[in-house]
Amino acid sequence: MKNSIKISLILLFASCSNSEQYEAVNGKWIKGDGEEKMKIIERQFRGLDKAMVEIGYRYQELYWGGQDANWEYANYQLSKIKKALKLGLQRRPQREESATFFLEEVIPQMKNAIKSQDQKVFNEKFELMRTSCTACHATPGHESYPSFKVGIPTDRQSPIR
């Protein structure tokens, strides 16, 4: 009995993976040859704008994690900010220079602030992060984007506490 269940599961997974492979190759909305499909996929991922939406959300969650002294959650959000930024920079490598200070200085300092589990230190480094975000968006090369200042979150958008 156990062997027949194992065989059935293997066949089921094999048939699923074959159909998934078929869908990926023949796609329902990604049409064209390989190069055309790649262009469609790149357009779907876009540049840094989608990454910045995620970073903005996680920035807020990082802040509230620190205010709640939920250091594990704050650290998680910081790691996701770093990952989202790095992935966005893969899509827009011309923005890498302006993100260097943030990746090499701001994120490590914030990580250390979280490790300290000291809310005063956290708030100081969060202010560094906030001003660094604003400064980055004021650098040359961002002329085609609107100017703005990044603020301290005032309202929670997430129910996570």
DSSP string covering 20-31: HHHHHHH-SS--
**The domain containing residue 87 runs over which residues?**
49-136
Residue 67 and residue 92 in one domain:
yes
Q: What is the mean pLDDT of the chain?
A: 83
Q: Is residue 72 part of a domain?
A: yes
Q: Is residue 141 part of a domain?
A: no
Our count of domains for the chain comes to: 2
Residue 93 and residue 126 in one domain:
yes
First to last CA, the chain: 47
Give the per-residue pLDDT at 12: 47
* Burial class of residue 58 (count of CB atoms within 10 Å of its CB; 0-12, 13-18, 19+): buried
Residue 67 and residue 125 in one domain:
yes
Q: With contact defined as beta carbons under 8 Å apart, do 99 and 136 qualify?
A: yes
How far apart, in whole angstroms, are the C-alpha atoms of residue 102 and residue 80? Answer: 14
How far apart, in whole angstroms, are the C-alpha atoms of residue 147 and residue 100? Answer: 20
Residue 74 and residue 110 in one domain:
yes
The two tokens of residue 79 are 């790691």
How confident is the prediction along the chain (161 residues), in pLDDT tens digits per residue? 455 554 544 544 555 554 444 455 566 778 888 888 888 887 887 878 889 999 999 999 999 999 999 999 999 999 999 999 999 999 888 888 888 999 999 999 999 999 999 999 999 999 999 999 888 877 666 656 677 789 999 999 888 87
Residue 85 and residue 122 in one domain:
yes
How far apart, in whole angstroms, are the C-alpha atoms of residue 125 and residue 112? Answer: 9
What is the pTM (predicted TM-score) of this model?
A: 0.75
Give the per-residue pLDDT at 135: 86
Q: Is residue 155 part of a domain?
A: no
Give the per-residue pLDDT at 30: 80
**107-117 in b/e burial notation, b at 16+ Cβ within 10 A?**
bebbbebbeee
How far apart, in whole angstroms, are the C-alpha atoms of residue 11 and residue 9? Answer: 5
Residues 6 or more apart from 160 whose CB is under 8 A from it? Answer: 61, 64, 73
* Burial class of residue 92 (count of CB atoms within 10 Å of its CB; 0-12, 13-18, 19+): middle
Residue 39 and residue 105 in one domain:
no
Residue 26 and residue 90 in one domain:
no
